[in-house]
Amino acid sequence: MNYFTRKLAAFFALTKPRVIELLLITTVPVMILAERGIPNLWLVLATLIGGALSAGSANSFNSIIDTDIDKVMGRTQKRPLVTGEITKRSAVIFASAIGVISVIWLGLLVNWLSALLALSAELFYIFVYTLLLKRRTPQNIVWGGAAGAMPVLIGFSAVTNTLSWSALVLFVIIFLWTPPHYWPLSMKYLDDYKAAGVPMLPVVADSVAVGKQIVLYSYVMVLSTFALIPVAPMGWIYLVVALVGGIWFIVESHKLFNKAKSGANLNPMRLFHFSISYLTALFIAIGVDPLLFFAIY
């Protein structure tokens, strides 16, 4: 790999593309729901590019601020700021540039409401989650989920240039999904978080207490998915996916909790990976359901 390609790959890695991928999975179905059909494809592309740039900027600043933590944690020791592939100064310039570009891009090519929402999400993630909450409270990921839930608002506003109760319910679903999604990962990498001094819930509470919180959030999150049915409104495809997927999510969360209570070896990554599949299936249903209605009627 030549110098230019290596540097390009390093800056790409700085944006945490796997996190961005998950955010974008939720955006397109919401745009379809807002349109009640296929939205303008150029609008979709512009929204995805702007959203990816905004999330990439926020993730890059997160990496800059947390370089000291990343040096300690085994799963993050190969990030470009830790290895020295990118200097801190270059990372700051890059993160600032794509952040500014994202706001201008969304404002000019989508609408200024979407641009404002993207900017708000980025600032919240940097200043509230990363700088204020992450190293101070085990509730960090709970409130940090607000930033991860913003893409659904951005996608909805991109089509309608406004927000609605449907958008708010979608926001709540992602917000409530984040803790039972991320806490299993924190359980897996408990020693890393301890070494880094980050008070994730599994660091300050035993596995039984964490498992109980995961179960409670799972129930509330699944219940929140049904609120979309009368508000959006949604049809039978979404209902079936929400029901089957929700029951499965609750069952998986109980399995983790029961293992914690019995003292058995935990496999928290099973729930972590399933939570991603669950969210993906749920949002595919959110996109397919109105398309089916449109095709029939």
Residues 151 and 12 in one domain: yes
Confidence of residue 1 (pLDDT cuts 50, 70, 90): low
Cα dist from 287 to 83, 147, 284, whole Å:
40, 22, 5
Instruction: Give the end of a domain, one of 103, 127, 159.
Output: 159
Task: Note down the domain range covering 232.
Answer: 164-297
Q: How far is CA 12 from the centre of its chain?
A: 18
Residues 149 and 189 in one domain: no
Token readout for 61 is 């600043």
Length in residues, the chain: 297
Question: Looking up tokens 């998915």, which residue turns up?
Answer: 225
Structure tokens, 246: 């929700």
Q: What is the mean pLDDT of residues 240-267?
A: 95
Q: Please tell me the total count of domains within the chain.
A: 2
Residues 35 and 181 in one domain: no
Same domain membership, residue 183 and residue 294:
yes
**Terminal CA-to-CA distance of the chain, rounded, Å?**
54
Indicate the helix (H) or strand (E) that contains 102: helix 88-109
Are 126 and 195 part of one and the same domain?
Answer: no
Considering the domain architecture, whether residues 150 and 129 belong to the same structural domain is answered as yes
Write out pLDDT tens, residues 42-75: 999 999 999 999 999 999 999 999 999 999 988 8
Q: Are residues 207 and 264 in the same domain?
A: yes
CB 145 within 8 A of CB 179: yes
Q: Is 92 within 8 Å of 126 (Cβ atoms)?
A: no
User: At which of 101, 131, 159 does a domain end?
Assistant: 159
Instruction: Indicate the residue among 159, 184, 215 that finishes a domain.
Output: 159
Contact 272, 181 (CB under 8 A): yes
Residue 19 pLDDT more than 90? no
Name the CA dihedral angle for 274, 279, 280, 286, rounded to a multiple of 10 degrees.
Answer: 150
The secondary structure of the chain in percent helix, strand, coil, rounded to multiples of 5, reads: 85, 0, 15
Sequence-distant (≥ 6) Cβ neighbours of residue 4 within 8 angstroms: none
pLDDT computed for residue 24 by the predictor = 77
Task: Tell whether 102 and 244 lie within a shared domain.
Answer: no
pLDDT at position 296, please?
52
Per the structure block, which two tokens stand in for 280? 């993906």
Tell me the two tokens of residue 60: 């890059």
Place of tokens 């540039």: 97
Q: Which two tokens stand for residue 27?
A: 């955006």
Q: Grade residue 293 by pLDDT with cuts at 50, 70 and 90.
A: low
Q: Quote the CA–CA distance of 91 and 89 in Å, as a whole number.
A: 5
Q: Looking at the structure, do residues 246 and 186 belong to the same domain, yes or no?
A: yes
- Summarize pLDDT for 107-122 with one digit per residue, the tens: 999 999 999 999 999 9
Is residue 154 domain-shared with residue 170, that is, in the same domain?
A: no
> Mean pLDDT, the chain, as a whole number?
94
Tell me the average pLDDT across 259-284: 94
Indicate whether 74 and 178 sit together in one domain.
Answer: no
pLDDT band at 294 (very low <50, low <70, confident <90, very high): low
CA distance 97 to 112: 18
* pLDDT computed for residue 20 by the predictor: 76
- Are 121 and 179 within one domain? no
CATH number at residue 9: 1.10.357
Looking up residue 270, the CATH number of its domain turns out to be 1.20.120
